[in-house]
Amino acid sequence: MSRRYFGTDGVRGCVGEAPITPDFCLRLGYAAGKTLVAHERLRVGEHPAVIIGKDTRISGYMLESTLEAGFSAAGVDVYLAGPLPTPAIAYLTRALRLQAGVVISASHNPFQDNGIKFFSARGTKLPDSVELEIEGRLDEPMGCEASASLGKAQRIDDARGRYVEFCKSSFPNELDLRGLKIALDCANGAAYMVAPKVFHELGAELVLVGVEPNGLNINEKVGATSPQSLRTAVLESGADLGIALDGDGDRIVMVDADGEIYDGDKLLYVIAKAASLAGKANGVVGTLMSNLGFEHAVARLGLPFARAKVGDRYVLELMHEKGWSLGGENSGHIICLDCHTTGDGIIAGLQVLAALREHGATLKEMCQDLVFYPQKLVNVPVKPGFDWSSSSSIKTAVDKATQELDGQGRVLLRPSGTEPLLRVMVEGVGEDRVSRIAHGLAEVVRAAVAAS
């Protein structure tokens, strides 16, 4: 059975357009609630319960209300956490022993978009089978429990404080951040109230960026997807380093004192290197987009490496399959299973800082033996349903590009799981050549899209 609504990270789209409409989200809450009820062994009068969190998009108010109504109609109790990072909801779902967590967010997308994603009772993404079951129930007529069986709703007043303490607990007790000046960019998103508390309470002096959300400015020229704002803040303030989170707080990018930007591959390498030196690492999972230089550097640490499909859920699945504790994406999703069940930008940042403190090193020093191959990524807008894999012109262009790289690089085309884009990536020796090949491939894709 194929998916109709769920992508790699829940249901996502432009607000006001299907499926991100009030009526759909009402039915989604009801369908998800009924699925939970069907999976629970309930005593008479007992209700399953979920927690709902959101980022700072203005549409979050509307979607929160409709989801709450849908769950209540299905007989599910609802705990409302307000604006909190996605990984905070994963943690609170486990800590409060709830049946599911729900996050209203479109992560790094602009404010016009929004989405709904779910966590299981264990704080992990829902299995495909459960998402498909929810989709199946969306086709059924929506009902409503009798008044005495409706779900109740209440706010959780201490949700932020619980999560702050959870994040701090992942940092070694014998270390602190005193004497460290950090520029912290919260992307005007879900982490704007909790991330500053975490780093400040561990002793850091902070220069804050992206902590004034107005419902419309999430990810706008700030955050992990726009690290130039962080770079500027670091250089102008004389900070020791900078940390940028994305709109829902599950990815991270860092900047050193010289203004060099460190993506997810580099930060994951710092964590893996420190863990390897401490004898605590057993393997690393990357993705199809992870740089070849990263793979080679991990091998030099004596650690096995495996690639998953792009998407943090697939990274996590492969980590569980391998029994490894470290994995991530170059986009900044980093999963440390010894600390959390899901990717967490704040916790990943703390693991990097702990590595730097333990070894008395800078980011540049920790990454000095990490040499990247030039890599160029071009995003090409495509029409819904565009089948790029059956295009003879694209296939011919890919074959030609692969032949030109002559075994010293890779070509990867993949559709985005969250946007109507085809991502064209070329990696190899020679930055100019890599860029030329990537842009040439992108032009072929654009022509194929126009002709379709």
Cα separation, 153 vs 68, whole angstroms: 8
Peptide bond into 196 cis (omega under 30): no
Of 59, 105, 107, 325, the catalytic one is 107
How many helices, marked H, and strands, marked E, lie in the chain? 14, 18
CA–CA separation, 282 and 337 (whole Å): 12
- CA–CA separation, 401 and 165 (whole Å): 50
In whole angstroms, what is the distance from residue 293 CA to residue 314 CA? 21
User: What is the length of the chain?
Assistant: 452
Residue 237 falls in the annotated catalytic set = no
Token match 């909790």: residue?
194
**Rounded Cα gap, residues 294 and 369, in angstroms:** 10
Strands (E), 280-342: 284-287, 305-308, 326-328, 334-336
Q: How far apart are CA 399 and CA 330, in angstroms?
A: 25
End-to-end CA distance of the chain: 26
Residue of 367, 368, 365, 360 whose CA lies nearest to 179: 360
Structure tokens given for 370: 């990490």
Instruction: Assess contact for 250 and 317: CB atoms under 8 A.
Output: no
**CA angle in degrees (0–180, nearest 5) for 214-218-219:** 150
Task: Identify the residue whose tokens are 């007989």.
Answer: 75
From residue 174, give the alpha-carbon distance in Å to each of 167, 272, 354.
15, 20, 10
Cα-flanking dihedrals φ and ψ of residue 163, to 5°?
Answer: -70, -40
As beta bridge partners, residue 245 has 252
**Secondary structure class of 325 (helix, strand, coil):** coil
C-alpha–C-alpha distance, residues 84 and 72, integer Å: 22
List active site positions. Answer: 107
